[in-house]
Structure 1
Amino acid sequence: MNRFSCLIFACNNHQHRYTLEVKLGLKENWKQFALLVLVNMLVGGMVGLERTIVPLVGTEEFKIASDIVVFSFIIAFGVVKALTNLISGVLADKYTRKRVLILGWLFGLPVPFLLAWGPGWNWILLANVLLGVSQGLAWSMTVNMKIDLAGPRKRGLAMGLNEAAGYGAMGLTALLTGYLAVHYGLRPAPFYIGIFYAIAGLLLSLLVIHDTRKFAQLEAAGVQPVPGAETFHKPALGWVFRETTFRNKNLFAVSQAGLINNLNDGMSWGVFPLLFTSAGVGLEGIGWIKAVYPVVWGLGQIVTGPLADRFGRKPLIVYGMFVQAAGHLVIGLELFEPLTAGLLGSVLLGLGTAMVYPALLAAVSDTAHPSWRASSLGVYRFWRDIGYAAGALMAGIVAAYLGLVWAVHLAGLATLVSGIIVWVQMKEAGMKM
């Protein structure tokens, strides 16, 4: 079935009753879904503010020589975002999706101001702590709310559209900040657009977004729990953490692939601006390299999301990891002149990530029962976004001893191994109908 309906009876004082028809499906909920797509474009744009500029702010404005110190803003962002992801589902179940989304934007409001005018590197780190909380809450809620609305059959498409909006906006913002930096300097001009993103996102979330928890409750009423979970109505977070991290083979395969996928992103976030600057690529060229990766990643999911619904999650994940490994190979072996290698490698990284991203989210949703799906998605996104910190930390250590290009080689090897693990461990769970 692609449509469920029910009657929701609600009244605070129980003296009046009314009926409200609730239906699952993209067609049935397209207006609210479209608004959530717009909100996630703004969420993604907030991260795009940092993709081209912030590593160069560290090396050129604050004269930081250590790669690990420069990459510390990514580590701070990744750890905080991962931890926030972990509790976002619990908060959503307790306080509603909409309230958590609004809270995410409130944490995001100071970020562009700190990036634009922070007088020292510690202020940049503070901005990334707040950005990590904001992203962990706001992006998690756009994911959960779209899954709630879409229903089981179009889950891959829903995730493709969600991630396309977020990462497409991230890439375009990275390109725009590079352009502004060339013409107006590294700070503050490139971060003005972030002020608009934060205010617009908060207002949209307050005024036009509706909570979607009732849609998840409707789906849960028509789906049997997975074996071993029958006694749980809403399992404790510890149970969900264990189930998602290692007890369920599918969820383990998905979680480790998500971690390695974002390890690639965390590595490239810090390494690429410095690597290509040292190779003689100008700031606009670096802006293009940094933009191509998330733009291809984002827009590609419009295609790969439906493909995951049609052909299954596993093929998209396995081959997507292999394509990313090929992207690292193109950049790391320096077979072309630096700008060409950067652009071609970024296209492959973006294409591989586009194949993987919606399939991973959909695979978690296939396996986790709706009663604990939000928490399971939070655990998966915890491990996935720890990858930002792991990639930045790995890159900083490897770069210090072997050079920046070896961080690219090591990330490529880890990606290849991760794809093999999914190939061996994962089985198609089957989309719940």
Structure 2
Amino acid sequence: MIVNLKNNILFFHLILQVLLVGLILGLFRTVIPALAEVDFGVPKGSFILLSTFVMSFGLVKGVSNYYAGIFSDRFNRKIVLVAGWILAIPAPLLIFYAENWYYIVIATSIIGIHQGLTWSVTQISSVDITEQQSRGFAVGLNEFGGYVGVAFGGILVSYLTDLYDVRIASLIFSYFIIFIALLLITFFVNDTKKYINEVSQSNQIDKEFIKNVFYKVSWRDKKLFSYCQSGHIEKYIDTAVWIFFPVYLYNIDMPILEISYVVGIYTVTWGILQIFTGLYSDYVGRDKLIIFGMIICSIIIAICPIYNSFIWWFFNSFILGIGMAMLYPSISSAVNDNSNEEWRATAIGIYRFWRDTGYASGAILIGVFSSIYSIEVGFYFVSVIMLLSVIILINYNR
């Protein structure tokens, strides 16, 4: 899959980097939503206000993804990776000294920049050093590393909050991870742009076409458009699990540790299975896995509110993780497949822009339905829009 031993070592460190990125995100996904009312005064039923930090995260991360791709093509991958970690440094202090919820929104926006730059670059770099026929596997491994980090980050921080105040726990946890990440980059991570330069020198590229790549990826190329909209809509599932699952379960008095297990099994299942689904997509194609994964998620999100027991929610989160594992690396790999090497990093950044802005639109729309009707109706809305996205994908990929 990878060219030589040296590149295998580099690939390992890129996976380790995205694992650390995921650990940072795990803090925000598990602890903050559940403790919002107690620590930050967010009203228990205020889904719109509670969604503000997800909206800011999605919008900022989406834009950061876009520029991560552009800067990676224009400069090099390592510079962007280092910048992403350095920019994360103020966020833990903002949480520690937070006087109201809007400090958390600002801190989350900073983490969104960090996530967009670092995660995008680790995936772009992993694909750079991977043979074309194995890119699904490479993307799967990258997503595996990141989302296993998200899962265990949330669980570890939940345990730390039993020993320390949540602000102290987040401060210690975050700065330890940032320090380790920068240390490893300094000594073990090299730039990978030279590998794609070797490939692209033999290809003739229309420079005017490259300038219009955003329009091509976003709309003009119907295949790429179908993948962008699928990526955008599938983030509604992630938004529901990230913000609305903890709120719903917290409101029915499920313990915080059990909530972390419900959210954690989703991300662990998703993360681990992506190794296999990414590899499988290299052999059977991307579209089947995307379609079946979205249908599974659509069904499960609709039946989650039937019962309030921990076992029921744990099981359904596990099935959601399977569905996401099928679709998530497959969409990214499909964008890689349909992009030219010269502008592949930019195309991935554009796709990730549309994908992660799904956090923002998802938070707004699910929040509106939850506030006007109920949080259960918000889940039903996600189910319906997932099915509509599948119809668009099938129509544009016949």
- Counterpart of 2:114? 134
More displaced 10-residue stretch of structure 1: 168-177 or 362-371: 168-177
How far 1:143 moved relative to its partner?
0.8
Q: Could you state the TM-score of these two structures normalised by the residue count of structure 2?
A: 0.95
User: Paired residue for 2:192, among 200, 212, 215?
Assistant: 212
Kept in 2, the 8 Å contact 1:116–1:189? The answer is no
1:414 paired with 2:371, answer no
Kept in 2, the 8 Å contact 1:80–1:132? The answer is yes
Kept in 2, the 8 Å contact 1:113–1:195? The answer is no
User: Paired residue for 1:125, among 86, 99, 105?
Assistant: 105
Report SS of the residue matched to 1:235: helix
AA aligned to 2:156 is: L
1:63 paired with 2:34, answer no
The 1:389–1:331 alpha-carbon spacing in structure 2 relative to 1, beyond 3 Å, is same
- Counterpart of 1:252? 225
1:274 paired with 2:247, answer yes
How far 1:31 moved relative to its partner?
0.6
More displaced 10-residue stretch of structure 1: 274-283 or 172-181: 172-181
1:86 paired with 2:66, answer yes
CA distance in 1, matches of 2:230, 2:344: 19
How far 1:208 moved relative to its partner?
1.5
Following TM superposition, the consecutive aligned residue runs of length 4 or more in structure 1 with deviations greater than 4 angstroms are: none
Who wins on radius of gyration, i.e. which is larger? 1
- Counterpart of 1:388? 359
Q: Deviations over 1:335-385 (max 9, x none)?
A: x34312321221122111111111111111110100011111011000000
Report SS of the residue matched to 1:211: coil
1:40 paired with 2:6, answer no
Higher relative helix content:
2
How far 1:144 moved relative to its partner?
0.5
- Counterpart of 1:165? 145
CA distance in 2, matches of 1:101, 1:234: 27
How far 1:234 moved relative to its partner?
7.3
CA distance in 2, matches of 1:40, 1:263: 22
How far 1:163 moved relative to its partner?
0.4
- Counterpart of 1:288? 261
CA distance in 1, matches of 2:167, 2:377: 30
- Counterpart of 2:342? 371
> 5 Å matches for 1:418-429?
418-426=389-397
1:346 paired with 2:317, answer yes
1:329 paired with 2:329, answer no
- Counterpart of 1:5? none
CA distance in 1, matches of 2:141, 2:17: 12
CA distance in 2, matches of 1:64, 1:26: 52
- Counterpart of 2:206? 231
Q: Deviations over 1:124-155 (max 9, x none)?
A: 11111111111111111001100101120110
Kept in 2, the 8 Å contact 1:49–1:191? The answer is no
Kept in 2, the 8 Å contact 1:179–1:287? The answer is no
AA aligned to 1:385 is: D
Across the aligned residues of Structure 1 and Structure 2, the Cα RMSD in angstroms comes to: 1.8
CA distance in 1, matches of 2:187, 2:236: 36
More displaced 10-residue stretch of structure 1: 184-193 or 380-389: 184-193
Kept in 2, the 8 Å contact 1:117–1:188? The answer is no
1:355 paired with 2:316, answer no
- Counterpart of 2:95? 115
Kept in 1, the 8 Å contact 2:51–2:367? The answer is yes
1:75 paired with 2:55, answer yes
How far 1:25 moved relative to its partner?
3.4
Kept in 2, the 8 Å contact 1:398–1:404? The answer is yes
Kept in 2, the 8 Å contact 1:81–1:136? The answer is yes
How far 1:329 moved relative to its partner?
2.3
Q: Deviations over 1:188-220 (max 9, x none)?
A: 224422211111112222222100101111222
- Counterpart of 2:174? 194
AA aligned to 1:322 is: I
Q: What are the ranges of 5 or more consecutive residues in structure 2 without an aligned counterpart?
A: none
The 1:25–1:402 alpha-carbon spacing in structure 2 relative to 1, beyond 3 Å, is farther
AA aligned to 2:259 is: I
Kept in 2, the 8 Å contact 1:326–1:348? The answer is no
- Counterpart of 2:82? 102
CA distance in 2, matches of 1:202, 1:123: 25
How far 1:183 moved relative to its partner?
4.6
Report SS of the residue matched to 1:167: helix
Q: What are the ranges of 5 or more consecutive residues in structure 1 without an aligned counterpart?
A: 3-23, 428-433
The 1:276–1:33 alpha-carbon spacing in structure 2 relative to 1, beyond 3 Å, is same
